[in-house]
Each structure stands twice: as structure tokens, then as C-alpha cells.
Structure 1
Amino acid sequence: MAKRNQSNNKKKCLIGPLNGQKRSEKAFRVRHKAACSQMELPLTEHPCNGDEQLYPTKIGSFSKGLPHNSLGEVDLQAYNQFIKALKTGNKDDFESIPLGGNAKLSNPQAAYVFDLAGTDCHNLDIAVPPSFKSAWAAGEMAELYWQALTRDVSFHEYRTHPLTMEAASELSSFSDFRGPKAGGKVTTGTLFRGITPGDLIGPYISQFLWKNVPYGGTTIVQHYRTTLAGSDHMTSYDQWLEIQNGSTPAAPLFDPTPRYIRNGRDLSEYVHQDFSFQGPLSACLVLLSFGREALDIYNPYLKSETQDGFITFGAPHILDLVTKVARAALEAAWFQKYLVNRRLRPEEFGGRVHNHLMGAASYPINSELLHSQVISKVFSQFHSYLLPMSYPEGCPIHPAYPAGHAAIAGAGATVLKAFFKESFKIPNPVTASSDGHSLLPYSGKPLTIGGELNKLAANISLGRNTAGVHWRSDGIEGMKLGEAVAISILSDYSATYHEKFIGFSFTKFDGTRITIK
């Protein structure tokens, strides 16, 4: 009794516009409205390119890590068990999937996960990927072969190097190549670049992958470990087949000198070793160092005479969201990878090209690729038609489409464009020296936050292509998927702020403007 009286005698210190009961009710309404908004969205159909149904031997489908025959064609019993597990979602069925070696499938059950913010990952759509025999796939594979041959060419030399000039000329001849062009042709200025606003302006690499990163009480200099020039892998057929079956590869050979990213090999290794949201996080820390002038003009605290943003519309808010969207973007990508597309990886396609041209099998590969100049150059250098890989282990053990790196990069860049002024000019822009030892001043066209964030997303996405582990469409559509994830999460959170806020307004990857209220 004494304790009850003591409790009743405690002073109530809560102040504010809502008491506890009203606050609880409003919190419920905010969450209920967000849930209802998602529930009211039209359902997505999720069409695929039909390769899995078209080819009984599954030559157009991802199967790395499962057992294969001497042609690298998957054991059908193993593949069917893989599909059974994906269809049922039964945990025991996943444990019954036969593997060909030590490598394990990468987290297929993540395809079923739910999240509590943004659109459910099963209700976000992407375009249908190229089919196995299409001219579109042929153009993408030719680009990957050329990227492999030019990994050690400095970005500074792209406009004049014989290999990049040959690459641009040949890619222009493909009937359905969808990389960026100038005057209807691929040029050395558009070669291997993204298609978003800002991608074709200035250096190939985004400022956010070169500039020093303020990191609390220290500074991260973006010198990165890279591999030695000429360190290409999986160019012998026996090695290729062992890797398809899930064998453990040899260790890579590293350059003893860390370097600024100066060529495709360096970029490949950056996106080999980075953690999930490293690029967007580094960009966020750089942007925050630019001060209030770099913030988006609709930040509600820019015009306040008495307050600054912090937990909302300040550094903790931006840092939280740029990292939060990374996992949600991966969830959406994993759903598409495992439950919709199951697209084969470029290294698997390279095995099909090799066996077809060596006469060991006959596959419906588009003739534009089979008769290309780059195919002959690859064979002349490596004595096989396999795609030379940057990584000893080749691609990860999950399907290609869309790219997880691209989805994270697209989501992170979208959040940063929502919080920062896209037109703000990057101060003191730089470019890496040809040897990667130093940064030099850049004096070309002005580089803006919006353009360099788009370029960052493209660098991270297409850097995986340079390594040989993804297709161009994996990256482009992955970026768009990440963007959609970020927009849906920003939309849900926009209802949670107390400030007078008119919404997030920014430019999407396709160049259109959007406002999220």
C-alpha cells in the first residue's frame, strides 16, 4: 500500500502537445496509414525472359555451386531440387540441395524476408533481362570481354589507347548494344560508362571514390589495395569447370603498393573488398564536410533562426537512412535473383561460348558475338573463349539479375540526392594519376553533387561488370530497383516528421524530377 501511494505521489513531468494516450493513438495511425498505403498498391506480375523454360538443360540459367557435367551443364536432379526448395520455401528442402563442391549458395532464404518500412520487396518490379540468344545479350557479353582486355588501361588513356579505340568501334557495330553513345556511336568518351545524368561529365571515377573521407577523429585516404596487372583468372577450361562445381580457388596476387583507383582492375578490386554500403557511406561523410551550403534547399532548418537539424534533417538522420536502405535494397534484389529470374552469370555464358566455338556443344548464341573481333582477341591471348575474371573465385554463388552492389548504390545515391543540393559544385575536384600514386587537380566541366552521386552508383555497378561477375543490365536495373526501394522508404518516413517540411525533391536516374511528401 505504501508503494502504491508512493507511486501515485510521483510528479508527472511529461510535457508536449500530446499526452501518452494520444501519442500512442497517433503512432498507431501513422503506422496503419503506411501499411494501408502499401496494401493498396497494385500487385506486380514479375515476368521473366523465359530461358529456364526454353532450354531443358538449363544452359540459360544460373547453376554455379551445383554439380555439372564436363560441358558445365548442371545436373538436372540437383537443379530441380534447387527449384523445389525455392518453390516451397521449406527449410528442410534447402538443406537437401546437392552441391558440387565446398561453396555454399548465398542466402537464398533472404528472398522471403519481410521489412517494416517501404514497399514489400515482392511488390517492386524490374525490366525483363535479355534472353540467352538475343542480340542484346551478345552486345553485353562483347562489352564484358572488352572490359576484361582493357582492365589495365588507365582511365587517362581511354581516348587514345588502341584497345579502347577498338572496343568503342566494335561495340558501335552491335545491333542492340545499350550502353551510352555520342552521335549514335560508342566512343572512347562513353566507353563502359553509365547512362544517368552526369555519367559522361569529367573523369570516369566519381569524386566520392577519390576524395579523402572524414571519419570521426581521423581521415581515410582512398588508397586501396589492388591486384597485380595481368592477374586474370578462370581462363583455362579445367579451372573454369572446377569453379562452376564450387571448388576453392587459389589466392589472388596483390600489388604491394596501395593506389587511388586509376583503371578497371583497381575498380574491380574495390567492389570486391568493399562492405555493403561503403561507397554511399563514404560519399555521405564527404558531403557532410561541405557544410550547410551543400544541403538541399528544402531542409526545414536552413531558414530557422533558432534551431539546427540533428536527429532529424541532420547528420545522424542522413547517415541512418543511407545505411538503412542498403539491406532493404538487397532484399529486393534477392527476391528477383532467386524467385523470378535466376539469370546465369557472365562466366557461365563464357563457358557456353567456349564449348560452342570449340565444337564440344551447339548453343543458340547470337552470331554477332560469335563473329566478333573481341572473341578472337581473347582466344589469341588466353587460348580459350572463356571470360577472363578479375577474381580467382569468379562470381558469388547467387544468380546475376539484378546486381546487389547496384541496388545498394542506387538506394544510397537516392537518399543522398534527397538530402543534399544536386546542383552544388564539388569543391577542388581531382583525378588520379595514371599510376594511381597521387591525385591531381581536375579543371574540366564543373562536377556537381547530383552528377557525381549518379556516377558513384554507376562506378559501383559497372565496376562489378569490369570484374566479369555481372552484366550491364544487371547493374542498370539494379540501380533503378535500389532507387525504388529508397523512394518507398523515404515516403514512409516523410509522415513521421514534426517539422514544417514540404518534401524530398530530387532527380531520378532517368532524369525526371520527383517530390516525396
Structure 2
Amino acid sequence: MAGVELPPLLVSAPAKADGGAVDPSRRARSYQIRVEAAGAQLNIPTPDQINNGDERRYDNFIGNYSQGLPHNSIGEVVASAYRALLTAVHSGRSSDFANIPLGGNAKLAGPQGGLAFDLEGTDSGQLTIPPSPALASAERAGEMVEDYWMALARDVPFSQYGNEPITAAAIADLNNLTVFKGPKANGEVTANTLFRGLRPGDRTGPYLSQFFLLPVSLGTLSVAQIYNTYAPGKDYLTDFTSWLAVQNGQGPFAANVISGTSYLKSGRDLGAWVHTDITFQAYLCAAQWLLTHGATLNPGNPYLSMKNQAGVQTFGGQHILDLLGEVSNRALKAMWYQKWFVHRALRPIAYGGLVHNTLTRTADYPIHSDVLNSSAPARVFSKHGSYLLPAAYPEGNPQHPSYGEGHGVIAGACVTALKAFFNESFVIPNPVVASDDGKSLLPYTGSDAGQITVGGELNKLANNIALGRDLAGVHWRSDAEQALLLGEAVAIGILRDQRSTYNEPFGGFTFTKFDGATITV
């Protein structure tokens, strides 16, 4: 039986090569699109990759990440082990990575993943973030003071920030810092800016994004966002023996104690969430809520003007849900390049060891006086008997450098993708807030309740997750802030590459970047 002859595929204007002959075959069109995308990416300038210089500044490498390598009795990395790490990251050879010595049985987390190439979006080597704050700087000290207060305030309900003694003291102390780059109102840290982000919408409404609180439907599964929470008052690595074991990577480490379930209500609850979440879980839930609750699409969506068609795998629900996974993995590759091959910045928990050794006169490190004179380390000592940063997790933090943040780069990429697909100005009706015991949701009745928008709550969701890692003692504020921007850049690169693949007439998505600027992609 003879086969049925198919009509030739039409060639749409967006898929044509400018000034070139049009080949009617789909194979040639596909090749042409890929070549043009590669050419566009090739024309993106390669930036200088610059770190903060601490690695050259200190012979004992105290300003850099070394967790998992062998350390001496006061927590300084064995220099030969760190040099083996440098040999590997400078050569890029798998054999050199295999020769990095460990101080225990905890493996380094995926350093070679930062060297992976991709076939979509801007290459990791063509993206960058600025140097992290230097070890001895006032900015780094200010970030550490904030991390100490975040640890001390882990069990304070978000709704009580500024209304009880711990966070009131935190606000006063942060206002005394030489440099603090967190949000302020009229030049001052306030209850409404404490531990919040810098982006549009971050300070509107309650601390937590509505996308962390509102119920979600996943197919026929209805989900109330009630989560396992960790036992209040239970912190880790506040004695030098357990702290040093973590620096050496000497596991296995204990598991957190789960105390029950509740809506997220405090820094400890949010820290538990960002400890065990699935890569793009929060953004999948946000997308599902938006798709099932009448949120309007980005005005640039071509199907808004089509009377007889609806988007599915292009510009529809399937597209945005799948895109979240695409941008997440590519964002992590870009961040791993920065973590391992550029910055190698130390973690706050390691910096806490430097503070402890300095204040106990075990060693003399170049720690800025702002953190040494802060009341936060003294409060930690009064509670735990050391100046070490109380960790939310028994293992302290993952086995990879601090700057920038993995959770933050995924947040930046996924939120950018969501803003490209949904109308940022859509007002979320009937906003809620968790009760202080986390057992129920209450109507949010603040004066700004009518100003809670999709764009603002997506920005807030990104910062909740990024700063949630800070609340756990895992990261610095600069890790979170720069990760959001890098993730945004990754997502924009992917959206640009995808634009040339569509058959629909498409003028681009217009949305608001994290810095408040408007962009069309």
C-alpha cells in the first residue's frame, strides 16, 4: 500500500534566516535555527571572572571554602589539600579532581558539574557575578552579624518581628553596623525590613509569599501547604568538636528532629523547608496555583488574540511547567561554575569558627570589629558556650562553596520564567497569613492587602527561599542576592533561544527584572 504523501511544512517568518535563502525542508530549518542561536550566543562578550582575592591574600586559605578537606586542630585547612583542590579547578581534569584528599567520608558536591556545557542558553563561562565580600571587610562582618541574629531568632514567628526582645535587639544592632546591605526604610532597618529581600514586592504584605501558604492542586491531588517542621530550640555545631568534624567532612551526620507539622511560621520552619525541598517544587506549586485560579497570562502571549486555538506545549500550561525544570538545571550549572571555578568563598559556619577562635584568643584573624563588637556573638555564647554560628542542620551545610547560592539561582531562574508567562500586575485575592502556632491560616488584613500582586509575590517567593538558607546558617545575604540575578540571566538566555523556535506570531514577553527594569525577551 502506498504511503500517504504529507504536504510540505510551511516556513514561518520567525524561523527564517535573515537575508538567506529559505530551504523548505524541516531538517534544514532546524539546523538553521540552531546555527543562528549558537551565533547569537557566540557574540555575547566573555566577562572577566574575578574573585575577592582572599585566596592570594592568606597563605592559610582562611577566607575560602575548605569543608570536607582535612583541617588542623583549630580548623585551618591543610594547605597541601587545598592546593590539590586548586590544581583540579585550574586544570579541569577529572584525574586531578580524583586526587583531592578528603578529611572524612563526606564527598565534595559535584564540582565538575560547573564545567558542563549546554545546548540552550548562555554558556556558564559567559555569565558572571561580582566578587564576594572579602573576609576582613565590613560588609562581610555585617552579613555575619545578620546571620547570628537569624540564628537567634529562628523560633520567633514572622508576624512578631520587632514586637519581641530578640528581633528588637537585632534591629538595633543591624542599625549600628558600618556596612549593611539589607533592605531599609528611610535609611533604617525596621520590623518590616528585617530579614527581607530587596526586590519589588518583598516588603508588601506578610513576610511569607502567598505561594507558600495557599492550597495547591496537583492534578486530582489537593494539597494544603502544611509541612514537617523541626524541633524548636534545637541547634547544631555549637561545640568545637562537632564543628571541626563538619569542617573535616567526618560523617555520617545525624538527622534533624521533626516536631510535627504546620504552615510555615518562623525561620526554623522555612529553614526546614529549604533543607529537603525538591529542586523547583515551590515554583511548580506557584505555577499550578496561577493556572488554576484565574491568573491572567502575560500580555505578550500570542494565544490571547487567537479565537480558535489555545496554547499547550508552546505558550500553554505544559510549556511553563516543563520550562521550570529546564531553567533549574541550567542555572545550577552556571552557579557551580562560579562556586568552584571562580570564588570558592567560605561558608558562614566556617567564618563562625574564625570569630570563635579570635574571641577566645586561640588565634588572631583579620575579622572586622563590627562582628566582634556586636552583641549577637555574646548572646550566642551565653546560650551555647561558644561563639560558633548555631546551625539549623547537623551537617551544617552542603559540601560546596558558599558563593553564590544554589537555591537562590534556581529561584531567580524559575521566577523569571513565571514572570514571562503570567501577568505580574494580577492582584492575588483574599491573601492569608499563618497563625503564630502555624495551625491555621488567617485572613491578611494589612493596609496593603489589595497591593499583593503576582509579580511581587513571585519576587518574595524567590527571596523567602534564598534567605531561608541564610536563616538556617548556610549562606550569606550576598550569596542570595547575586544568585537571584544570575538565575535571572540564565532564564533570559533560554527564553531568547526558544523565541526563534516558535511558529506562532510572537513579539516577545515583557516583564520586570529583579532590579525593577522592564525587559522584552
Within the alignment, does 1:394 sit opposite 2:396 as a pair? yes
**1:162 Cα shift?**
1.2
1:180-233: per-residue Cα shift (whole Å, max 9, x none)? 000101011100000000000011000111111110111121111111100100
Contact 2:9/2:24 (CA < 8 Å) preserved in 1?
Answer: no
Q: Percent sequence identity over matched residues? A: 50
- Find the counterpart in structure 2 of residue 189 from structure 1: 192
Q: CA deviation at 1:304?
A: 1.4
Deviation, structure 1 residue 413: 0.3
1:148 Cα offset (Å): 0.2
* Structure 1 alignment gaps of length 5 or more: 1-5
Following the alignment from structure 1 to structure 2, what is the Cα–Cα distance between the partners of residues 454 and 25?
41
Are the equivalent residues in 2 in contact too, given 1:390–1:468 (CA < 8 A)?
yes
Deviations 1:326-370 (A, max 9, x none): 001100100000000000000000000000111110000001110
2:59 alignment partner, SS class: coil
1:454 correspondence with 2:468: no
In structure 2, what is the Cα distance between the partners aligned to 1:25 and 1:412? 32
Equivalent residue for 1:490? Answer: 495
Q: In structure 2, the residue corresponding to 1:302 is in which secondary structure?
A: helix
Q: For 1:262-273, list aligned pairs within 5 A.
A: 262-273=265-276
Q: Which residue of 1 aligns with 2:257?
A: 253
Q: Which residue of 1 aligns with 2:477?
A: 472
> Does 2:506 align with 1:513?
no
Structure 2: which amino acid aligns with 1:12? E
**Residue 13 of structure 1 is aligned with which of 6, 14, 18?**
6
8 Å CA contact 2:9, 2:25 repeated in 1? no
User: Which residue identity does 2:160 align to in structure 1?
Assistant: E
The farther-off stretch of 442-451 and 133-142 is: 442-451
Secondary structure of the corresponding residue to residue 514 of structure 1: strand
1:76 to 62, 75, 79: 79
Q: What is the CA–CA distance in structure 2 between the aligned matches of 1:360 and 1:159, rounded to whole Å?
A: 36
* Distance across 1 between alignment mates of 2:388 and 2:3: 76
Matched residues in 2 for 1:262 and 1:92: separation? 47
How many angstroms apart in 2 are the aligned matches of 1:54 and 1:374? 28
| Partners of 2:327 and 2:169 in 1: CA distance | 39
Alpha-carbon distance in structure 2 between the residues aligned to 1:150 and 1:159: 11
Give the Cα separation in 1 of the matches to 2:418 and 2:24.
36
Runs of at least 4 residues off by over 4 Å: 18-21
SS across alignment from 2:511 = strand
1:21: how far off? 5.2
Separation in structure 2 between the aligned mates of residue 132 and residue 14 of structure 1, nearest angstrom: 66
The answer as to whether partners of 1:281 and 1:323 remain within 8 angstroms in 2 is no
Q: Please give the alpha-carbon distance, in whole angstroms, between the structure 2 residues aligned to 1:480 and 1:59.
A: 27
Query: TM-score, normalising length from structure 2?
Result: 0.96
Paired amino acid for 1:136: E
State the secondary structure of the residue aligned to 1:496.
coil
Larger mean CA deviation between 106-115 and 159-168 belongs to 159-168
Deviation of 1:26 after TM superposition, in Å, equals 1.6
Determine the structure 2 residue equivalent to 1:62.
65
The question of whether the paired residues in 1 share the 8 Å contact of 2:268 and 2:471 is answered with yes
Amino acid at match of 1:252: N
Within 1, Cα distance between the matches of 2:346 and 2:292?
42
The answer to whether the aligner puts 1:179 opposite 2:216 as a matched pair is: no
Q: How far is 1:251 from its partner?
A: 2.3
Distance 1:507 1:10 in 2: 51
Amino acid at match of 1:329: A
**Bigger mean CA offset, 155-164 vs 458-467:** 155-164
AA partner of residue 501 (structure 2): T
How far the C-alpha of 1:22 sits from its partner, in A, is: 2.3
Take 1:181 and 1:251, find their aligned partners in 2: how far apart are those partners?
37
Q: 1:29 is matched by which residue type in structure 2?
A: Q
Q: 2:387 aligns with which of 382, 385, 401?
A: 385
Shift of 1:146: 0.1
Task: Report the residue type matching 2:393 in the other structure.
Answer: Y
Write the mapping of 1:114-129 to structure 2, written as runs, cut at 5 A.
114-129=117-132
Match of 2:47 among 44, 47, 53: 44
- More displaced, 246-255 or 96-105? 246-255
TM-score, length-normalised on structure 1? 0.96
Deviation at 1:250, TM superposition (A): 2.1
SS at match of 2:504: coil
Question: Would the aligned equivalents of 1:402 and 1:475 in 2 still touch at CA under 8 Å?
Answer: yes
Report the Cα offset of residue 20 of structure 1: 8.9
Q: Which moved more, 1:217-226 or 1:178-187?
A: 217-226
Distance in 2, matches of 1:210 and 1:416, equals 18
Do the aligned partners of 2:9 and 2:26 also contact (CA within 8 Å) in 1?
no
Q: Distance in 2 between matches of 1:10 and 1:21?
A: 21
CA distance in 2, matches of 1:121, 1:77: 29
Distance 1:16 1:52 in 2: 57
* 1:337 alignment counterpart: 339
What does 1:144-183 align with in structure 2 at a 5 Å threshold?
144-183=147-186
* Residue aligning to 2:34: 31
Counterpart pick for 1:503 among 486, 505, 508: 508
Partner residue, 2:17: none
1:290 deviates by 2.1
1:86 alignment partner in structure 2: 89
Paired position in structure 1 for 2:25: 22
Deviates more, 1:491-500 or 1:53-62: 491-500
Equivalent residues in 2 for 1:272-311, closer than 5 Å = 272-291=275-294, 293-311=295-313
Q: Secondary structure of 1:431's partner?
A: strand
- Contact 2:162/2:191 (8 A) holds in 1: yes
Describe the superposition over 1:351-405 as per-residue Cα deviations: whole angstroms up to 9, x where unpaired. Answer: 0000011111000000111011111111111110000000000010000000000
* 1:510 Cα deviation from its structure 2 partner: 0.5
Aligned twin of 1:415: 417
What secondary structure does 1:225 align onto?
A: strand
- Please say if residues 66 and 346 of structure 2, whose CA atoms lie closer than 8 Å, have aligned partners that are also in contact: yes
- In the other structure, the counterpart of 1:239 is 242
Which stretch of the first structure deviates more once superposed, 305-314 or 266-275?
A: 305-314
1:3 corresponding residue in structure 2: none
**Deviations 1:282-308 (CA, angstroms, capped at 9, x unpaired):** 1111111123x5211121111211111
Measured after TM superposition, the shift of residue 417 of structure 1 is 0.4
Contact map agreement 1:152 1:264 (CA 8 A) in 2 = yes
Structure 2 residue runs of 5 or longer lacking an equivalent are 12-21
The CA deviation at 1:123 is 0.8
* Alpha-carbon contact 1:46-1:340 (below 8 Å) kept: yes
For residue 423 of structure 1, give the secondary structure of its aligned residue in structure 2.
Answer: coil
Amino acid at match of 1:397: Q
Q: Distance in 2 between matches of 1:200 and 1:467?
A: 21
State whether residues 211 and 285 of structure 2, in contact with CA within 8 Å, keep that contact through their aligned partners in structure 1: yes
One-letter code of the match for 2:258? F
User: Which letter does structure 1 place at the counterpart of 2:5?
Assistant: K
- The structural deviation recorded for 1:24 is 1.6
SS at the partner of 1:326? Answer: helix
Task: Kindly provide the amino acid, as one letter, of the partner of residue 153 in structure 1.
Answer: V
Deviates more, 1:332-341 or 1:307-316: 307-316
> Quick one: which amino acid aligns to residue 221 of structure 2?
T
Question: Could you say what secondary structure the match of 1:394 adopts?
Answer: coil
What's the secondary structure of 1:294's corresponding residue?
coil
**Partner amino acid, structure 2, of 1:164:** T
